[in-house]
Amino acid sequence: MKKIYLFTTAVLLCATGFGANAQGSFRPGYIVRLSGDTLRGQVGYHNARYNATRCEFMPAPGSPVERFGPAELRGYGVGREEAYRALPVPQRDSAGQARPSRLLFVEAMTNGSPANLYRYQGGEGTRYYLQKSPTAPLRELLVKQQEVEDGGRRYVQEIPVFRGVLTEEFSECPAIALSLARVAFRLPDLTQVVQRYNACRQPGSQTTVSRRSSIYLGSDLLLGGQDSQLLLFGNNYAAKGQYPGSVVPDIGLGLWIGSQALRDKLQLRIELHYVRQKYEDEFQYSVSGGGSSPSLNTYQARFSTSYLRLPLLLRYSPLLGRVRPFAEAGVSASRLLDLTQEIRMRAAGATAYGAWQPAYDPSDIRYTEYGFVAGAGVQLTGPGRHALSLLGRYEASNGFSEAAFSSNKFRRYSVALGIGLNRQR
Evaluate if residue 234 carries a pLDDT over 70.
Answer: yes
pLDDT of residue 258: 78
Cis omega (within 30 of 0) for bond into 114: yes
Average pLDDT over residues 365-372: 96
pLDDT recorded at residue 23: 41
Residue 26 has pLDDT above 90, yes or no: no
Would you say residue 68 has pLDDT above 60?
Answer: yes
E strand or H helix at 164, and its extent? helix 161-169
Domains by residue range for the chain, with CATH: 82-212 (no CATH), 215-423 (2.40.160)
Can you tell me the mean pLDDT for 148-155?
A: 80
Answer yes or no: is pLDDT of 3 > 50.
Answer: no
Q: Note the pLDDT tens digit of each residue in 250-278.
A: 999 999 987 655 656 788 999 999 999 99
Is the predicted pLDDT of residue 66 greater than 90, yes or no?
yes
What is the pLDDT, as a whole number, of residue 352?
93
Handedness of CA 225, 327, 330, 310 (dihedral sign): negative
Q: Is the dihedral of CA 325, 330, 335, 341 positive or negative?
A: positive
The answer to which of 26-35, 147-156, 407-416 has the lowest mean pLDDT is 147-156
Type of residue at 314 = L
Instruction: Tell me the mean pLDDT in the region 131-151.
Output: 89
φ, ψ of residue 238 to 5 degrees: the values are -65, -20
Residue 16 has a pLDDT of 43
Q: Is 13's pLDDT higher than 60?
A: no
Regarding predicted confidence, which is higher, 394 or 181?
394
Within 10 Å of residue 139's Cβ, how many Cβ atoms?
17
